């Protein structure tokens, strides 16, 4: 939307509607009057758009959103969104969705930081931003209020991972063949827990030593198809399970599909048994995969690709594990000056 002065000295307002550029005369030769016309036109246009929005309260909206969100997403992701909606309703009541503007939302996020943590507030912000984008597409909101407020920033935390000695101690304690296979495969591929638990044999190519995460049984976090190479240890795990499993899933627990919470609880049991760092959890296997690669000189860019990160910036948390490379770099100054 913009103003343009014609040869007759009158300002015209150009605007786009239904994919087409249209114009209307402001009947003004003074720019100040044309700008006043523009302001009134924008206000009226917004009022008309708002009058066409569907009225929906938080409970109704959460039901509609979660119904379309559930297929293809993990139970954990679904639970996160349910928690966000509960907290939203706790703060606003069962309000009309249109009443949640940027200022009100900023107040809500600030309260979440005060009463819980910046991590919980950031999770709510990310979830709500996705929800409100969906609301805009489905004619419940004109704009996403999250775009007007900053995302809560969290302090960078170093990833917790197993040393090679600690990992061997853990393996020695695992008395379940299914769990041991899952853990070994996880630490040699860096796959996320749900990517492992939903992996099917038709995604595996043992001859080429690779698997393809194709968004069929489970939607990957990046929503992109990803090919993951297999090293000899990961291939050996698959070879050993080929004759022991029935059905489409590669990893099962006692013949049944693995459930996230049960696998996580079972893994923590073994960690506690070893008396290792109690903060180590199943996701630490993914951190371990990345950390071991970086320590062996694999570039952050390549690790990022293997992990399926959306950006190499996400993988930068492992860069502190490359001190020798940095030391070699600064040493070149001494070598050259000598």
pLDDT by residue (tens digit) across 164-219? 999 999 999 999 999 999 999 999 999 999 999 999 999 999 999 999 987 665 55
- Alpha helices, H only, the chain: 31-51, 58-69, 75-92, 102-115, 118-137, 164-173, 177-189, 193-197, 232-242, 260-274, 284-295, 300-307, 312-315, 323-337
Model pTM above 0.85 = no
pLDDT of 293-311, one tens digit each? Answer: 988 888 888 989 999 887 8
Helical (H) or strand (E) element with 243:
none
Give the end-to-end CA distance of the chain in Å, rounded to a whole number: 64
CA atoms 244, 249, 251, 253: torsion sign: negative
């Amino acid at each position: 939307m913009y103003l343009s002065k014609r040869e007759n000295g009158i300002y015209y307002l150009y605007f786009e509607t239904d994919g087409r550029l249209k114009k209307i005369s402001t009947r003004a030769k003074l720019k100040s009057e044309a700008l006043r016309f523009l302001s009134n036109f924008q206000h009226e246009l917004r009022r008309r758009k708002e009058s066409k929005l569907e009225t929906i309260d938080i409970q109704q909206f959460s039901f509609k959103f979660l119904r379309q969100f559930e297929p293809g997403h993990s139970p954990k992701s679904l639970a996160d969104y349910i928690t966000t909606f509960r907290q939203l309703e706790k703060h606003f009541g069962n309000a009309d969705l249109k009443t949640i503007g940027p200022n009100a939302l900023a107040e809500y996020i600030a309260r979440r930081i005060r009463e819980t943590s910046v991590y919980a507030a950031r999770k709510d912000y990310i979830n709500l931003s996705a929800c409100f984008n969906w609301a805009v597409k489905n004619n419940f909101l004109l704009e996403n209020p999250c775009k007007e407020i900053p995302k809560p920033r969290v302090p960078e935390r170093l990833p917790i991972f197993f040393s090679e000695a600690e990992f061997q101690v853990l393996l020695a304690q695992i008395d379940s063949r299914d769990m041991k296979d899952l853990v070994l495969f996880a630490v040699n591929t860096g796959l996320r827990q749900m990517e492992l638990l939903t992996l099917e044999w038709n995604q595996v190519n043992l001859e080429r030593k690779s698997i393809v995460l194709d968004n069929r049984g489970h939607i990957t976090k990046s929503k992109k198809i990803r090919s993951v190479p297999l090293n000899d240890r990961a291939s050996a795990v698959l070879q050993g399970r080929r004759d022991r499993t029935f059905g489409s899933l590669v990893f099962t627990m006692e013949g049944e599909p693995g459930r996230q919470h049960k696998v996580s609880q079972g893994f923590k049991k073994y960690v506690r048994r070893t008396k290792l760092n109690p903060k180590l959890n199943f996701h630490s296997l993914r951190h371990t995969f990345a950390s071991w690669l970086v320590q062996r000189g694999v570039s952050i860019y390549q690790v990022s690709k293997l992990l399926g990160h959306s950006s190499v910036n996400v993988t930068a948390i492992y860069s502190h594990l490359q001190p020798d490379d940095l030391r070699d770099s600064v040493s070149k100054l001494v070598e050259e000056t000598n």
